[in-house]
Structure 1
Amino acid sequence: MNFLLTLVLILLPIAFLLVNRKRSSKRLPPGSLGMPLVGQSLSLLWAMRANTAEKWLEERMKKYGPISKLRLFGKPTVFIYGQAANKLVFASDDSIVVNQQAVSMRMILGDRNLLELSGEDHKRVRRAVLSFLKPESLKMYISKMEKEVLRHLKMHWEGKQQILPLMKTLTFNIICSLIFGIEPGAERDQYVQNFQKMIEGMWSVPINIPFTRFNQGLKGSAMVQKLMKELLKEKRLEQKEGAQSQKDLISFLLSIRGEGNGELKSEDEIIHNAMLVMVAGYDTGSVLITFIIRILANNRTVYGAVLNEQDEIAKSKSNGEFLTWEDLSKMNYTWKVALETLRLYPPIFGAFRKAIKDIEYGGYIIPKGWQILWVTAMTHMDNSIFQEPANFDPARFEKQASIPPYCFIPFGGGAHMCPGYDFAKIEILITIHHLVTRFKWKLCGTDNHFIRDPMPVPTEGLPIQISPKELL
């Protein structure tokens, strides 16, 4: 009898666990995790490079519905989309969802950047980075950014050119100047190829064997971190000799290290977050400007309205006078064009979060520890949110309050809103101002195709014929 009672007491909990496990597995979202490690990673990456990623996801939604499971970049993942999904991602507190990117991105950018931190660490580091990137601080850098734009146009903008490589050169130089405080020359040149390797490796299967994108990304990251450690030493010496702490982001972060709630605790936090800002500004800014140039070439009505706005501002400036914050605030239509471009061609395809506990969502369980994938374009191209979403219409943003929350998300949302929003806005407006007031251009091809690698890349880098206005 005692033996039977003991056996029952042992078997009951096991049976309970098995039943609950079976119930729980039934409540997992539909779909397949695929092969270990790889899963659907290669299939998604191929679709991105063929410019069919949104179609790939739409077919998945038709098959499985608004929530499904898969495996991406080595981790079990749940794909969700829509306004409610975006709200879950951006508005949930850290007891539900936390920052965590794909393994490949985390290993390349480091684990102390804003995309990886949560809770008080995220608030502390975000506060520090925003102290430099907020409008009140950036106002003093407008002329410095404009000098980089003018120098770039003088050196490169003539004849037949590929726009995307040109814009990458421009945004790289702006970031080097304002974020790193590195003047033009050999020191800048050491960074650019390694940054490109990092970007190409961030969305890749994390298999570290020679010549894979992940392997090259890790090597690029190691070289950049080495260069940045040397740069930190130089900045410390400059500060000891009385250099201004506000002249660039790295100098600023060094100056506030260890001072209180807004400080950065370690050298790694400075380096990893400077790398994040660099990668974000280098690629997203160049992609956005490139697609704006393409739209202005294809849409004469939009081009005319942008030109009229910018000509009025140019006429109000004395010869050689730099743009001001007040001038930028008058570029309302130009910024609406930029926002509509971001809606149609968001540089960031999507990103990941991590479930910190089992989450009830859409009638299923998102298990604790799983990745959550959100994709930018899934609400941007939803015709229940944006009427005739395939049409280019800057008027959509005349009343941004009319756009439902968590539907237009090129810069994220909530506490995870991109801290570089104002930096990007200033960079775009200054660049477009000088392009349309100084040059005319026409596309050299009719192919509007682009791939994602992982950012959108127009065919052949968008070749155009450029002419200074005074020569036309």
Structure 2
Amino acid sequence: MGNRSFHGISPAEHKRLRRLTAAPINGLEALTLFVSKIEDILGPSMEKWAESGQPVALMTEMNKVTYMVITNILFGANVDYDMQKMESLFYDLAQGLISIPINFPGCTYHKALKARRELVKILRANLDERRRVKNKKERAIEEKDMLDLLMEVEDEDGEKLDEETIIDVSLMFLLAGHETSAHATMWAAIFLKEHPEILQKLKKEQEEIIRRRPPTQKGLTLKEIRQMNYLSMVVDETLRRGNLSFAVFREATADVDIDGYLVPRGWRVVVYLRAIHVDPENYSKPEEFNPSRWEQTVKAKAGTFLPFGGGSKLCPGMDLAKLEMSIFLHHFVLHYDMERLNPNSPMVYLPLASTYDHCLVNFKRNH
């Protein structure tokens, strides 16, 4: 992932870099820009699935959509490189993260390192081109993407991020903003179809959002999404019940006593998230899909809801992932329906929880 990604820097530098990159990724300006980008990709894609008249592997198609979303958010819509080549390189890089680190031709890890070098070249050329354009004219706010925002950010001393940091952070977000979002969105659709009363309640909320909208407005706004209280509960319950990320990995920085058991300093610790999210001590009827458990009057105890990790290592792509899920679900419950062709499909649990058939469905428009 590079020397300047969040995974490999010191705690102090991690804190500094997170602070500097928070606004370009999760700030109000960034998320406002992202809404229309996501909707412009999701809307036509869903329409295409419905019009095809053929079964759709929802997991596969959502992977394509979330890849288009994250590359559009990062690079903008007008790119002059081979997107299929980029996707192939990105896939090789992702596979390297879960491979045995043998740097020998033909091995997955070797391919990943080679893919990284190619991706770095593409990003570096992109940054050079942006600097040339910037010297000629300032880009309008609506034309900006994440790379623009990362290039503009400054610390308290007026120092900007260096090129190596921008590249490593960008590659990190290409990974973090892709596959997990696709899986979470797939599970949200599955859970809603299994619970029609919840789907109808969500649909009613979305219809009310549309009813209050000015007649001249086209498309969703961030303000509207933040008013979708029940949809937010559906998203959180999907993340809890879907249990996508199976664990986080940490290191004990001091001797820790847990109920009489000593965890010595320096030991590696695996926090098994899937056990936490279905622990009956944390959640009543944990196997049940119940968005209402997230009513504002009910708050999860600290350390019991960790779909994006926690503390200083909280996944920086959390708000973007929830935004993608929210926009998909808004359009899905209002305009579309689906029927699973293999409702009893076997499951795959690593690295992410999914169905073996990639959720094969008949996807159609509501009449």
- Give the distance between the partners of 1:370 and 1:297, measured in 2 at CA: 44
Q: 1:175 aligns with which of 58, 67, 70?
A: 70
Whether the 8 Å CA contact 1:113–1:276 is kept in 2: the answer is yes
Q: SS of the residue aligned with 2:7?
A: coil
Counterpart of 1:407 in structure 2 is 304
Whether the 8 Å CA contact 1:124–1:264 is kept in 2: the answer is no
Task: Please tell me whether residue 220 in structure 1 is matched to residue 115 in structure 2.
Answer: yes
Whether the 8 Å CA contact 1:314–1:437 is kept in 2: the answer is no
Deviation at 1:400, TM superposition (A): 6.7
CA RMSD, aligned part only? 2.4
Counterpart of 1:379 in structure 2 is 276
Counterpart of 1:283 in structure 2 is 179
Q: SS of the residue aligned with 1:410?
A: coil
Matched residue type, 1:120: A
1:200-211 to structure 2, matched below 5 A, reads: 200-211=95-106
- Give the distance between the partners of 1:219 and 1:294, measured in 2 at CA: 37
Q: Percent identity, aligned pairs only?
A: 26
Counterpart of 2:18 in structure 1 is 126
- Give the distance between the partners of 2:80 and 2:125, measured in 1 at CA: 16
Deviation at 1:173, TM superposition (A): 1.3
Whether the 8 Å CA contact 2:340–2:362 is kept in 1: the answer is yes
1:95-110 to structure 2, matched below 5 A, reads: 109-110=1-2
Deviation at 1:166, TM superposition (A): 1.0
The size of the alignment, in residue pairs, is 360
Counterpart of 1:292 in structure 2 is 188
- Give the distance between the partners of 1:170 and 1:263, measured in 2 at CA: 35
Deviation at 1:448, TM superposition (A): 4.5
Counterpart of 2:349 in structure 1 is 452
1:345-360 to structure 2, matched below 5 A, reads: 345-356=242-253, 358-360=254-256
Task: Please tell me whether residue 146 in structure 1 is matched to residue 42 in structure 2.
Answer: no
Task: Please tell me whether residue 433 in structure 1 is matched to residue 330 in structure 2.
Answer: yes
Matched residue type, 2:43: L
Describe the shift of the 1:265–1:133 C-alpha distance in structure 2 as closer, same or farther (beyond 3 A): closer
Counterpart of 1:315 in structure 2 is 211
Task: Please tell me whether residue 115 in structure 1 is matched to residue 7 in structure 2.
Answer: yes
Whether the 8 Å CA contact 1:152–1:170 is kept in 2: the answer is yes
Q: SS of the residue aligned with 2:9?
A: coil
Task: Report the TM-score, using the length of structure 2 for normalisation.
Answer: 0.89
Deviation at 1:364, TM superposition (A): 4.6
Whether the 8 Å CA contact 1:168–1:286 is kept in 2: the answer is yes
Whether the 8 Å CA contact 2:342–2:360 is kept in 1: the answer is yes
Deviation at 1:153, TM superposition (A): 2.5
Describe the shift of the 1:212–1:368 C-alpha distance in structure 2 as closer, same or farther (beyond 3 A): farther
Describe the shift of the 1:269–1:135 C-alpha distance in structure 2 as closer, same or farther (beyond 3 A): closer
- Give the distance between the partners of 1:365 and 1:264, measured in 2 at CA: 44
Deviation at 1:264, TM superposition (A): 5.4
Q: SS of the residue aligned with 2:15?
A: helix
Whether the 8 Å CA contact 1:207–1:215 is kept in 2: the answer is yes
- Give the distance between the partners of 2:109 and 2:257, measured in 1 at CA: 33
Describe the shift of the 1:186–1:387 C-alpha distance in structure 2 as closer, same or farther (beyond 3 A): same
Deviation at 1:328, TM superposition (A): 0.7
Whether the 8 Å CA contact 2:247–2:270 is kept in 1: the answer is yes
Q: Which moved more, 1:448-457 or 1:382-391?
A: 448-457
Describe the shift of the 1:210–1:450 C-alpha distance in structure 2 as closer, same or farther (beyond 3 A): farther
Counterpart of 1:251 in structure 2 is 148
Offset from partner CA, 1:34-80 (integer Å, 9 cap, x none) = xxxxxxxxxxxxxxxxxxxxxxxxxxxxxxxxxxxxxxxxxxxxxxx
Q: 2:165 aligns with which of 269, 275, 278?
A: 269
Deviation at 1:454, TM superposition (A): 1.4
Deviation beyond 6 Å, 4+ runs, structure 1: none
Describe the shift of the 1:254–1:245 C-alpha distance in structure 2 as closer, same or farther (beyond 3 A): farther
Whether the 8 Å CA contact 2:49–2:363 is kept in 1: the answer is no
- Give the distance between the partners of 1:110 and 1:229, measured in 2 at CA: 14
Matched residue type, 1:361: D
- Give the distance between the partners of 1:262 and 1:454, measured in 2 at CA: 41
Whether the 8 Å CA contact 2:206–2:330 is kept in 1: the answer is yes
Describe the shift of the 1:264–1:316 C-alpha distance in structure 2 as closer, same or farther (beyond 3 A): same
Q: SS of the residue aligned with 1:440?
A: strand
Offset from partner CA, 1:88-137 (integer Å, 9 cap, x none) = xxxxxxxxxxxxxxxxxxxxx22311233333311221112111123422
Offset from partner CA, 1:125-180 (integer Å, 9 cap, x none) = 11121111234222243223222222323444433210011111111111111122
Q: SS of the residue aligned with 2:357?
A: helix
Q: Which moved more, 1:160-169 or 1:411-420?
A: 411-420
Matched residue type, 1:423: L
Deviation at 1:304, TM superposition (A): 1.4
Describe the shift of the 1:245–1:252 C-alpha distance in structure 2 as closer, same or farther (beyond 3 A): farther
- Give the distance between the partners of 1:421 and 1:438, measured in 2 at CA: 26
- Give the distance between the partners of 1:177 and 1:186, measured in 2 at CA: 13
Offset from partner CA, 1:232-272 (integer Å, 9 cap, x none) = 22222222222438611112212236x54685543221111
- Give the distance between the partners of 2:235 and 2:347, measured in 1 at CA: 18
Deviation at 1:182, TM superposition (A): 4.4
Tell me, which stretches of 5 or more residues in structure 2 are unaligned? none
Whether the 8 Å CA contact 2:245–2:274 is kept in 1: the answer is no
Describe the shift of the 1:149–1:415 C-alpha distance in structure 2 as closer, same or farther (beyond 3 A): same
Matched residue type, 1:230: A
Matched residue type, 1:219: K
- Give the distance between the partners of 2:126 and 2:297, measured in 1 at CA: 41
Whether the 8 Å CA contact 2:21–2:153 is kept in 1: the answer is no
Whether the 8 Å CA contact 1:176–1:188 is kept in 2: the answer is no
Q: 1:389 aligns with which of 279, 282, 286?
A: 286
1:327-346 to structure 2, matched below 5 A, reads: 327-346=224-243
- Give the distance between the partners of 2:353 and 2:159, measured in 1 at CA: 35
Whether the 8 Å CA contact 1:127–1:262 is kept in 2: the answer is no
Matched residue type, 1:146: E
